[in-house]
A and B are shown apart, each in its own frame.
Chain A
């Protein structure tokens, strides 16, 4: 048992660093506190490297509570990287609005910690605790702009609905335990396979757990909180929330479903297919009517949650192509979404505005920002050279390969991509075709511009030659189906 702790070195580094950042905030003079962003980013980068050194390991810690394998290694690398980007992108917001930067960065780090544990969790209560830790950090982060009414509203909404969803999830977990007598994912699977699970109780538990996750990934009909919270929360927080928290919830769900629920596939597959269907239709259709850029992205990412859930609905024993596709799309869409949000961060920092009209003539006012936004949106719409084309193609092909009956839903998803292309093009029209008409130039901080160039490069590379990432993903898939 003692040897198990060593596997958690990255997590320990992160906890230590978060505590250090909090403490430093107390001792550093005010004008030096800007440094904390870089301290936090550096620590997160170290954590990512520390996770990377665990590649190739395969271990079950504490009797299966946590699993260190190809799957968790991949995401314990990715989440800290997202953390680095969020910390560096937040500097401007933090300097202007917050008196205690250390507090903010420490919370971001704690949030990353929770996500890392989620990707490694192999047991329901561990998973739940990690999920709650993540949710708590976001309750604080969402309402961080204390003097801003909208931010407060966002915080309250998120707390209330988040708490409700947590309660639903926890109740579901208790029912699953009641039905199967196990909380480890493998234990649940074994109980179902041997037929020792109580069918009704198990089914009810399953529905509640999936509903809980539905809240976390903002799938229709559990999506109501997301546009309001996205709109109200400070832009860097929205970015973090939209990219990382959803990814973490999907990562946890993927392991839970493939390892824990696979023998009961017949029960959850129609549920997830239904969620996928309504999410992609409602998300994309409602996005058409949005005038606020954050709400537009919020609804479009509801649509993307639908595509991912469609992948889940096609999961079957040994269907590693599907899990590859889900992870691939998670990463590819995550990168595109993050790039789009970095642009939103820069524009709202410079102008304080977030309506589509405020993006008029952005191509002249800030060519790099407009280009990055265009790339991010073309990618999200699924056009090549960009990540979104390849990831969607991969995911949809895998879905039909594994479950040919879902071809019509893939067709619908492709049609919804077409719908999304329309509203993305509208934004591009504002940026490239509408005149700037006396709107000011937008200067973005150097760090942010650098991150955008990097993300655009990542989006293009994933779109053209994704093989290196797919190798990692395949290792992760093998761990899932081991």
Chain B
């Protein structure tokens, strides 16, 4: 049994949620508790499996581990090829953590429960798939799987924003998110097909394609397809507008998964496909990416400052934080890229925590208008404390994961583009401003009597929040194991680039 798990860990990570969703199909839709229980069990097994994958990954040895290869569509050369390096092992862990906590948070979903969990597990299947596969066909397959259920998840279970002067229906958010993301994947699709035809080795295998070597001209033409195509999902400015609208309209667990994990798929795609296959293209285009990333940071932070809707603040802060990921990646120096990957993890956990807490408040108060909240911490101290922790991680307080990640990104940026580094630091200062202002307004001060009836997180929500807080703090105080894993994945990429250039 253990042997089996060891050999097929990655395939299992995809198959597990998929089997879970098939099992849900067979349960009658009235039996809500069974449906939720099955989902929690699937989520629990997934987080254990992803912990195992991360811990068992041997970063001293490095390279792609847990590899499995089976023929899939032979005439096209598609293979079921899975394998993880240090980067994807960490992303698998992130997915496990966020999906499990997301499922716990979803215990309160009572509208079309069955359909909801089926779609949620579909999303999870797609995300795991992208992170573990090494075949470009399958990577794209799972990438689209992750987009597929979004329209229904937001459209059916989401919520609209109505401030009289500012109306965004959930249908609008759902349609915008789906179409923009698929538009991004159209670019990726075209690039993948061009790669296949250009390499002409009758294979979509990433490692085999990496060995062929593409002409510098081809790389320079098609790298932007990947950069923008994947970048759309990473919230790359100016293609980020789907993200606040979509995340605000989505139900809590979907916001958690989408902002927490799916946006990372975009950044991961640039790193895994773009940097691996197109080192010269990446080198040529990275100056553009780092500028756009800096715009992300500043623009996202300034926009977050102007929001009245609690979820919009977090939505724009995601845009801002993903900017650090893009900046770090674009430096192409070890510190920056390591920081970017750690930021992917850190932001994923942090934003999941934010959305979980806001979801709990919204569910009770039916409003997210910052203007009407006051002194909530007096009534719901635990919720306030957890929100504060997420906020502190967000503004990069030392001892939290965000500090380590952003610090590394700044180090990398100052080594390469000092001017942009300064702007990045200014972005962090703006973040501190809006987070602290938000905390002060919503949680501190005298309690508004309207909110006497609010209660703290439920038991399950507290467990979920506890897991997320644990990772935020643990990475902050002991980033070593995480950085070693990341470094074992990043260094070969950068070394290879150095050799080629």
- The residues of A with any CB-CB pair to B shorter than 8 Å are 321, 324, 378, 383-385, 389-390, 393-394, 396-398, 400-401, 404, 407, 410-411, 414-415, 417-418, 421-422, 425, 428-429, 432-433, 465-467, 470, 474
Partner of B178, one of A389, A417, A425, A474: A425
For residue B175, CB closer than 8 A to chain A, the reply is yes
- List 9 A-B residue pairs with CB atoms under 8 Å apart, sorted by A's residue number: A321-B76, A394-B73, A396-B189, A401-B197, A411-B190, A415-B186, A421-B178, A422-B179, A467-B73
Determine the chain B residues whose CB is within 8 A of the CB of A393 once the complex forms: 137, 140, 189
With contacts A417-B186, A425-B151, A425-B175 taken as known, whether A474 is within 8 angstroms of B196 at the C-beta atoms is no
For residue B141, CB closer than 8 A to chain A, the reply is yes
Kindly count the residue-residue contacts between A and B in the assembled complex, taking CB atoms under 8 Å apart.
87
- Measured between alpha carbons, how far is A428 from B156 in the docked complex, in Å? 11
A326 → chain B, closest Cβ, in Å?
A: 13
In the complex the two chains form, is B155's CB within 8 Å of A410's CB? no
- Measured between alpha carbons, how far is A417 from B193 in the docked complex, in Å? 15
- Measured between alpha carbons, how far is A422 from B145 in the docked complex, in Å? 17
- Measured between alpha carbons, how far is A37 from B477 in the docked complex, in Å? 73
Determine the chain A residues whose CB is within 8 A of the CB of B193 once the complex forms: 396-397, 400, 407, 410
Determine the chain B residues whose CB is within 8 A of the CB of A466 once the complex forms: 73
A89 → chain B, closest Cβ, in Å?
A: 24
- Measured between alpha carbons, how far is A470 from B78 in the docked complex, in Å? 13
- Measured between alpha carbons, how far is A383 from B200 in the docked complex, in Å? 25
In the complex the two chains form, is B152's CB within 8 Å of A407's CB? no
Determine the chain A residues whose CB is within 8 A of the CB of B186 once the complex forms: 411, 414-415, 417-418
For residue B183, CB closer than 8 A to chain A, the reply is yes
For the residues of A in contact with B, the DSSP-based class is helix
Partner of A404, one of B155, B190, B197: B197
In the complex the two chains form, is A467's CB within 8 Å of B76's CB? no
Determine the chain A residues whose CB is within 8 A of the CB of B148 once the complex forms: 378, 383-385
Determine the chain B residues whose CB is within 8 A of the CB of A398 once the complex forms: 76
A480 → chain B, closest Cβ, in Å?
A: 14
In the complex the two chains form, is B190's CB within 8 Å of A414's CB? yes
In the complex the two chains form, is B76's CB within 8 Å of A397's CB? yes
In the complex the two chains form, is A432's CB within 8 Å of B196's CB? no
Partner of B151, one of A384, A385, A428, A467: A428
Q: Which residue of B lies closest to A470 (CB)?
A: B75
In the complex the two chains form, is B197's CB within 8 Å of A432's CB? no
A81 → chain B, closest Cβ, in Å?
A: 23
In the complex the two chains form, is B76's CB within 8 Å of A389's CB? no
B142 → chain A, closest Cβ, in Å?
A: 8
B145 → chain A, closest Cβ, in Å?
A: 5
In the complex the two chains form, is A421's CB within 8 Å of B179's CB? yes
- Measured between alpha carbons, how far is A383 from B126 in the docked complex, in Å? 12
Determine the chain B residues whose CB is within 8 A of the CB of A389 once the complex forms: 141, 144
In the complex the two chains form, is A429's CB within 8 Å of B171's CB? yes
In the complex the two chains form, is A384's CB within 8 Å of B141's CB? yes
Determine the chain A residues whose CB is within 8 A of the CB of B76 once the complex forms: 321, 394, 397-398
Apart from A324-B75, A389-B141, A474-B75: 17 A-B pairs, beta carbons within 8 A: A383-B144, A383-B147, A393-B189, A398-B76, A400-B194, A401-B200, A407-B194, A414-B190, A418-B179, A418-B182, A421-B178, A422-B179, A428-B151, A428-B152, A432-B152, A432-B155, A467-B71
Determine the chain B residues whose CB is within 8 A of the CB of A378 once the complex forms: 148
List residues 117-156 of chain B with CB under 8 A from any CB of chain A.
Answer: 137, 140-142, 144-145, 147-148, 151-152, 155-156
- Measured between alpha carbons, how far is A44 from B186 in the docked complex, in Å? 41
For residue B474, CB closer than 8 A to chain A, the reply is no
Determine the chain A residues whose CB is within 8 A of the CB of B165 once the complex forms: none
Determine the chain B residues whose CB is within 8 A of the CB of A383 once the complex forms: 144-145, 147-148
- Measured between alpha carbons, how far is A324 from B148 in the docked complex, in Å? 26
In the complex the two chains form, is B145's CB within 8 Å of A321's CB? no
Partner of A407, one of B175, B179, B190: B190
List residues 45-82 of chain B with CB under 8 A from any CB of chain A.
Answer: 71-76
In the complex the two chains form, is B156's CB within 8 Å of A433's CB? yes
Partner of B144, one of A384, A410, A425, A432: A384
B144 → chain A, closest Cβ, in Å?
A: 5
- Measured between alpha carbons, how far is A306 from B200 in the docked complex, in Å? 26
- Measured between alpha carbons, how far is A389 from B144 in the docked complex, in Å? 9
With contacts A384-B141, A418-B183, A421-B179 taken as known, whether A400 is within 8 angstroms of B196 at the C-beta atoms is yes
B251 → chain A, closest Cβ, in Å?
A: 14
In the complex the two chains form, is A433's CB within 8 Å of B171's CB? yes
